[in-house]
Structure 1
Amino acid sequence: MSSISESVERRLAILEAGRPLVRLVDEIIEAYPDPYSQAYAHAQRIVRKHTGRAMDPRFIWWHQFPTGSTSHLSYSGWQHAGPPQQSTHLTELVIQRFDTHFQQAPDELDQWGGFYRQGANASVFDERNEVRMLGSQVQADLWRIDFGAEHRASIEQFWGAHGPHFRVLAKINVLGRGVLARRAGHITQTDYGRLRTMASDALVAGVMPTLEQLQHDSAHSPLVVKRYALDERDRGCFYSLEAEDGRVLLYMPWQADAFRGFESSLARARWLRNELKTANTLDAFANAALAGVQSEARERAVHLHLNGIADSASDEAAMQLLAFLERPVTGDFFTYLSIQARDDMRHNATLMLDNSELRKAMWKGYLAAFLKVFTGFAPLGWPMTLMLLGASVAKVGLDVDEALHAHDEQSRKRALREAMLDSLFAALNLAEVGFQSSFASLAYETPAHELSVPLEHWEVLPSSSQSLQGREANELVPAMPELQGRLRGVRVRNDGSCWIMMNGLTYRVRYSQELSKWLIVPPDNPFAFVPVDPVRLSEAGEWELLGRPQLLGGSPPAVAGMPSTTSRFWETYTSVNDTQSKILSSRALSRQKNVLKDWDIVQLLPGRAPDLDERGLDCVMVNDNPHFSYRHEREYFNSLIEYYTSDESRINDVFRYGAYRHADEDVYIAELADELERLPDSNGATLFRGGHRSRGTGGDRYHAGQLKVGDVLVNTDLTSFTENPYKAAEFASERPTQAPGTLPGLFDESSVIYELPVAQYQNGTPISAFSLYWDEAETLFLPGNFFRINKLEQVYGYHYRFIKVTLGQIGKPAVGPVYDLRTGLLFDEAVYRARFRTPALAQRFFPV
């Protein structure tokens, strides 16, 4: 076996050891009782209850006014003139509640306030920007939420279920930070060996740690642990780990460089004394000890002790002061850290009032003081729990306030995950293995359709299966495959990529730890979001493709001109699974934000309200020119896109029927098109679009054989695709009172799902970061894009069937018929142009 193959085999062994630990990280992050996430979830439920839609609460404000006038157009019956006396985001309202006066007179909420899609800077507050919810009804919902009691219960549940997991991940963090310190020369190999033994005496030098080994403790730790009490509630600013030979390790869990090794306690005191003479370093130690708590008495005590060390007359004097501050840590160090983190979370939660206490505070006028102490959602700054798992402020790269209060829950969780995995990668010595794919393999977030697949029931398929069309690669691979281990039959290139030969064709493969099988993957992206195509090596040494067996009930009636097939991929995504759907949408949002990250976008500075254009639309004015796309902290905004995604917008009626609701809709369409053309395009994800007869977008003409492979379609309106196949399945079905099984609705002969594979389109603009409905994972195409039908197939399961249309974007064909993507009808350009009041608009999308 070559050295490259040995490295790949070692990478597979790392995956086997590491993937269970990655799952542990994901479980901790998902279960972590983040109070902001809990408040956000309540806000989402309130919005869905009253509007029937999953609008993002970050776009919803509660405004309270000194006056109001009646209106027969608004949902509440009232309209207001700004500016409001008080403005609160809906998520914050879940915590803060309405003013005390309205607790006694809830009916007045609808007169003096309302919910709106714009902030306090808006020029109008009426039916044009209202959210159809009544304050009086929302107040009743809020009092059904006992937030303080609920949060405390979630903390107890978290520690009851995940306490042992915390200890394992805390060990990984110590080992990972130790590896980094050893590489940087801050500690010795002997120091690291002692850390390893302290974590578990089952760990062996040079052998990757496993979950089972990390769950085992050390009977005799070679290190004595002491902490330094800078004040009565110091959570562990730094620790001393001392060996019998006098050598000392300084552990600072909040620091990027967490470990420092010293020959003696005196050398450690000398280093601390010198470091603390720098004001920035002293402040960093103080912040770690105080954790953001605003207490003058505590600040004085912490700074007194730190300054005392820095200003000591000698190194010996500094060592004496440190000895005075020392407190022994008895028993297992990781159990101690676990108890400290749990108690820290419990203490934070005591500052959250339950409903009965909240009512008393309101009646006694204490609420303002309570809110000042509470400071939003995280009174004690960065949680110790996250810090001890490797997600320190420095590593996550977020400002404390921004990270804990940001509306962007998905980005926050992703940042935490990356920080924790960083320690895991180091603990597994992944850097020594090489190959960027090693990191990607371990961090890979396995999609739902790759989990729990019963491969033992799958059958050998012909290698010419349609699912492999386009997957073959024109790559030079080694002439001889590997002969042993998991790599038997696999050809390994110098970059560590893995390939197989099957029936004379070359395919790239990736090993799935979850399925213990090799999977055929796209040659340019082994981690692409694609159906599962497992292969196995036969007794004759030939690769075989596996597929799902035929359903016992047989297949549905055949459709002329296309094959019928089952699909594990669509078996997963035609079922309702809100949790998995949210995960996919959040990954899509994160991807789309990465597209925007390097784009030159206007920034709205913290504390500044958006400007308004002449129509009252939010924007940022630069040299008297409105910029509708802007970023505020970690969030993106565009009022034109927000309106398009709102329930009030019927703008596609102009494209479809020539139906206008407002006189300025052509102007709006032109400005929206300008904005979409300015935003960056992206073709880095496979897109889906569902259609059904009940929505006027069905696939009857495919079912009737009137549309065939090779035909050309054109989109004639603002056309949405999604990165989330769960959403496509919803739109491909008709939602009845009760759908069979776990399906989102009823599928029939008009059900159709379009697929635009990654890199097979050019002009899609990701808009989820700007949308009122981020979970739709939306990419938008302006009218006038042409798509060729590359593949047609009928996909079916026990309770569903639909026509799957695989598309690829092309230029405008010179000759031949073109069909409307939405209806399947022959496109009549003259009829289309006649729908617009402004001829230049049609000319823009369909130039002559």
Structure 2
Amino acid sequence: MTDPYAQSLEWLKDAKTILEKARRYREAFPDLQSLAHEQASAYLLMQTGMALDPDQVWWHHFRKGDNRRARSFTGWTHHHAPISSLTFTELWIRRLDVELQDEDADTIFRLNGFYRDGPGAQAFDAQNEVKLDPVKVRKHLWELDFANVVRERTDRFWSNEGKDLPVLLKVSFISAIESSLMAGHVTTEDRQRLWAWMGLEAGKRLSLAGLSGPGGTGDYSVRHYPMHGGGHLLTFALRNGRFLLYTPTADVVLQAFDDVAALRIWVSRQLHGEEGQSWYDSLHKPYAEVDEATRKAGLQRLRERSGTGPAPHWPFGLGAEVARPLFEQMSEWVRHDVEAGHRILVSNSDLHKQYWRHELGIAITVLSVFALGWQPLGMVLFMLGSVRLGLDIDALVNAPNKVQRNEAFTSAVCDLLVIAFSVYSVLTESTPEQWDTYMEVDQASSDLVSRAVRQRHKALLNQAELPGFEGHMAPTDEFGTPHVARQGERFYSFRHEGDVHNNLIEQYSGHMAKVNDVFSIGRQRLAAVPEDELRAFLDNLFDSMEQLPRSGAKVLWRGGRGPRVTIGARWRAGAIRRGDVLVSTDITSFTESPYIPRRFMLPKEAVDLPLAQVAEHFDDNTVLYELLVDGQASGVPVASLSLNWQEAEVLFTPGRYFRIESAGEVSGTHYRFLRIRLREVLKPTDKPIYAMRTGLPFDRHAYLQLVQHDAVVERFFPAAAWT
């Protein structure tokens, strides 16, 4: 397949299919929080006759002495904060604390109760109590084997959905290879061998068919070293002695070594270095937060096994050879990890054992059961712990409801797909029939392309010659904006902890976006911003943009609509034509994603509606600018710096000139717009210049009066060039 448009749609089709597999997989997984909420809701309705939300009903345990006789369901009132509190959903999972299991009814009523208010309430009495008998609740929870309910649902899940996991794990592994190559941890030759070992050809675009093959045959001998307490480590060995270390949950996921001695030395340095505990913990996720003494003892054991000196030992034992296809085996490990979690979420038959509280404490504090909502941790860590793409694992596991947890997981899988498919090089000059696709609402495809652009921009910025900052917080200027000084020059773009940061661009993509009004409609919306701060922001923003690399894109797009954009009517009236030159008069945003212009061709309330419902909004002022740049544009890549990364933006300063190469109507069943093809050029000296938005002749004097910032106008429209 050679047509770039067909290629772009083909990768999107396969990536979306895999994404849908991941979505179904996660949605089908038994969500502990949801199961508990469902059962607890039914119980509350049965006992109280009211449809109460179990997340808003609290069980409180009070200290002795904090109780007064009162006319209430329990017979007591309390006026101090409780010692401990659980929502009814949490209680459904955890049952009652050990010390309450043998307490008599009088004691339970005197020091405990159910209430509509959380632990911050001023009082706990008849006004906010829920009339539930705690003795009956305790009896019911003992009769209910909730862990067994979860286990049965999970077994059903593996039977129905488990077959998709090897494909998802292979995508994760490919993403780890590509990320490790970019970071310099493996070589191009390593990458080619690993792809061939999976039955794939490095450099060729992935397909669903290729990913569905078993892989895991050929050059490598693979050994698995299970970590004590959870976690996995693997080695890939070649006959020539070269080794790859695969640690799915560590910061360095894949690391290549010329021989086994180099591997042992590297591992020894990790264990004995200042960050040894952190590295050890990263190998043992999700158990990295077991009590500190246990973790330190585990690290010390490995240090002793490794030894010191020029020839350290391998500390992880003999391991076991992986005889079956790796990704099928990894699927089994994920299942075993989940089952291990079930054993921590103990069944009722275990509750009388002495270690019950310790084990359940691990479930709650380590696995963060209540916040986690019973995430399938093995799946999460195998698939997502291997790639650092700005993924916030805390955000994933702490999402407050199942929908948000599913979306966080799906979002992370999108990032894996972007790296695995390496898609961002295939989007090229558009043809009219493309817009039948790009004018439709397709959030999944749009999101995948935007993530690809964000990754490409991040890579471009990481290659730029920018200063770095070591420490917690960079210095700030008089307006509180972080920067780094180098040879007396301020850099508002700088490296910190492996990423490039620019707080000015971040602000511009958020609360300071309206500064662009200065160049178009004036300062009406900027009255609250002091003039000196406004001018400094613009000056520093433009300075920082000059310090960034160019975008290198092949084609960029920009959508527009009336009343602010009126160039369409000017073209149709013959006032401007092919060969005329337009100039950017403000901070001008283009996008590398063809799915984004639609959002700027429609009013805000219509952008997410099906195309058939928004046809009336396309009119003579609906415009698509298509900038043919072939990697030569002056715009800077900001997707990885912007709060609105989904827009896949490339920013141009004012004073950039674009020649009209062609223009013509593009239409479909439910849309129409004027497509104006542009190419960036130098300022011509012998012909008029037109404003990009309006198509009206550019008047520097009027522009100077509008902007009221002589230095900025002179910077982009020097008077000497306009005389």
TM-score normalised per structure 1: 0.49
* Residue segments in structure 2 that go unaligned for 5+ positions in a row: 3-10, 32-115, 123-149, 178-186, 200-206, 248-252, 309-313, 346-359, 397-407
2:331 is the counterpart of 1:341: no
Question: C-alpha displacement at 1:752, in angstroms?
Answer: 0.5
Distance 2:188 2:461 in 1: 35
Counterpart among 614, 625, 631 of residue 495 in structure 2: 631
Q: Structure 1 residues 20 and 161 mapped into 2: Cα distance closer, same or farther (>3 Å)?
A: farther
Question: C-alpha displacement at 1:806, in angstroms?
Answer: 0.1
Q: Structure 1 residues 845 and 163 mapped into 2: Cα distance closer, same or farther (>3 Å)?
A: same
Q: Deviations over 1:434-471 (max 9, x none)?
A: xxxxxxxxx4539xxxxxxxxxxxxxxxxxxxxxxxxx
Q: Contact 1:240 / 1:251 at 8 angstroms: preserved in 2? A: yes
Distance 2:363 2:514 in 1: 46
Distance 2:461 2:697 in 1: 37
Secondary structure of 1:814's aligned partner: coil
Distance 1:699 1:614 in 2: 44
2:455 is the counterpart of 1:590: yes
Distance 2:188 2:557 in 1: 47
Counterpart among 279, 282, 304 of residue 268 in structure 2: 279
Counterpart among 739, 752, 775 of residue 623 in structure 2: 752
Q: Contact 1:276 / 1:282 at 8 angstroms: preserved in 2? A: no
| Identical-residue share of aligned pairs (%) | 25
Q: Structure 1 residues 741 and 623 mapped into 2: Cα distance closer, same or farther (>3 Å)?
A: same
Q: Structure 1 residues 260 and 162 mapped into 2: Cα distance closer, same or farther (>3 Å)?
A: farther
Secondary structure of 1:587's aligned partner: helix
Q: Contact 1:751 / 1:801 at 8 angstroms: preserved in 2? A: yes
Residue 163 of structure 1: aligned partner: 162
Residue 429 of structure 1: aligned partner: none
Distance 1:701 1:153 in 2: 68
Give the letter for the 2:673 counterpart: F
What pairs with 1:518-597 in structure 2 (closer than 5 Å)?
Answer: 527-531=426-430, 567-597=432-462
Q: Deviations over 1:225-245 (max 9, x none)?
A: 9977774x355556999xxxx
Give the letter for the 1:445 counterpart: V
Residue 445 of structure 1: aligned partner: 423
Q: Structure 1 residues 659 and 250 mapped into 2: Cα distance closer, same or farther (>3 Å)?
A: closer
Q: Deviations over 1:533-554 (max 9, x none)?
A: xxxxxxxxxxxxxxxxxxxxxx
Residue 647 of structure 2: aligned partner: 776
Distance 2:391 2:155 in 1: 26
Q: Contact 1:171 / 1:214 at 8 angstroms: preserved in 2? A: no
Distance 1:19 1:720 in 2: 25
Give the letter for the 2:677 counterpart: T
Secondary structure of 1:699's aligned partner: helix
Q: Structure 1 residues 842 and 33 mapped into 2: Cα distance closer, same or farther (>3 Å)?
A: same
Distance 2:288 2:620 in 1: 62
Give the letter for the 1:663 counterpart: E
Question: C-alpha displacement at 1:720, in angstroms?
Answer: 1.4
Question: C-alpha displacement at 1:803, in angstroms?
Answer: 0.2
Instruction: Determine which structure has the larger helix proportion and give its number.
Output: 2
Q: Structure 1 residues 290 and 252 mapped into 2: Cα distance closer, same or farther (>3 Å)?
A: same
Residue 825 of structure 1: aligned partner: 696
Give the letter for the 1:615 counterpart: F
Distance 1:19 1:588 in 2: 14
Q: Contact 2:634 / 2:652 at 8 angstroms: preserved in 1? A: yes
Residue 835 of structure 1: aligned partner: 706
Distance 1:343 1:238 in 2: 17
Give the letter for the 1:645 counterpart: S
Q: Structure 1 residues 586 and 729 mapped into 2: Cα distance closer, same or farther (>3 Å)?
A: same
Q: Structure 1 residues 388 and 844 mapped into 2: Cα distance closer, same or farther (>3 Å)?
A: closer
Counterpart among 510, 524, 529 of residue 646 in structure 1: 510
Give the letter for the 1:593 counterpart: K
Q: Contact 1:20 / 1:211 at 8 angstroms: preserved in 2? A: no
Counterpart among 687, 697, 707 of residue 816 in structure 1: 687
Give the letter for the 2:520 counterpart: R
Secondary structure of 2:483's aligned partner: strand
Q: Contact 1:575 / 1:743 at 8 angstroms: preserved in 2? A: no
Question: C-alpha displacement at 1:211, in angstroms?
Answer: 5.8
Secondary structure of 2:531's aligned partner: coil
Q: Contact 2:659 / 2:679 at 8 angstroms: preserved in 1? A: yes
Question: C-alpha displacement at 1:684, in angstroms?
Answer: 2.1
Question: C-alpha displacement at 1:411, in angstroms?
Answer: 11
Residue 595 of structure 2: aligned partner: 726
Q: Structure 1 residues 101 and 745 mapped into 2: Cα distance closer, same or farther (>3 Å)?
A: farther
Q: Contact 1:735 / 1:744 at 8 angstroms: preserved in 2? A: no
Question: C-alpha displacement at 1:731, in angstroms?
Answer: 1.2
Residue 545 of structure 2: aligned partner: 676
Q: Deviations over 1:252-307 (max 9, x none)?
A: 7548589999xxxxxxxxx89x9599834877996686346244447646865895
2:670 is the counterpart of 1:799: yes
Distance 2:705 2:223 in 1: 81
Q: Structure 1 residues 235 and 409 mapped into 2: Cα distance closer, same or farther (>3 Å)?
A: closer
Distance 1:157 1:616 in 2: 55
What pairs with 1:598-609 in structure 2 (closer than 5 Å)?
Answer: 598-605=463-470, 608-609=472-473
Give the letter for the 1:290 counterpart: H
Give the letter for the 1:580 counterpart: S
Question: C-alpha displacement at 1:822, in angstroms?
Answer: 0.8
Question: C-alpha displacement at 1:638, in angstroms?
Answer: 2.6
Q: Contact 1:230 / 1:302 at 8 angstroms: preserved in 2? A: no
2:531 is the counterpart of 1:695: no
Secondary structure of 2:514's aligned partner: coil
Distance 1:714 1:185 in 2: 47
TM-score normalised per structure 2: 0.56
Secondary structure of 1:725's aligned partner: coil
Q: Contact 1:645 / 1:771 at 8 angstroms: preserved in 2? A: yes
Q: Structure 1 residues 571 and 766 mapped into 2: Cα distance closer, same or farther (>3 Å)?
A: same
Question: C-alpha displacement at 1:678, in angstroms?
Answer: 2.0
Distance 2:13 2:479 in 1: 55
Q: Contact 2:344 / 2:362 at 8 angstroms: preserved in 1? A: no
What pairs with 1:354-365 in structure 2 (closer than 5 Å)?
Answer: none
What pairs with 1:111-510 in structure 2 (closer than 5 Å)?
Answer: 163-167=162-166, 214=213, 231=228, 233-235=229-231, 237=233, 254=247, 256=254, 279-280=268-269, 290-291=284-285, 293-295=288-290, 296-297=293-294, 300=297, 304=301, 307=304, 337-345=330-338, 374=368, 385=379, 404=393, 416=416, 443=421, 445=423
Q: Deviations over 1:163-182 (max 9, x none)?
A: 223346778999999xxxxx
Secondary structure of 2:617's aligned partner: coil
Distance 1:290 1:809 in 2: 53
* Residue segments in structure 1 that go unaligned for 5+ positions in a row: 1-7, 10-17, 39-99, 107-150, 178-182, 200-207, 219-223, 242-248, 262-270, 312-317, 353-365, 422-442, 447-524, 533-566
State the superposition RMSD in angstroms.
6.3
Distance 2:268 2:433 in 1: 60
Q: Structure 1 residues 758 and 282 mapped into 2: Cα distance closer, same or farther (>3 Å)?
A: same
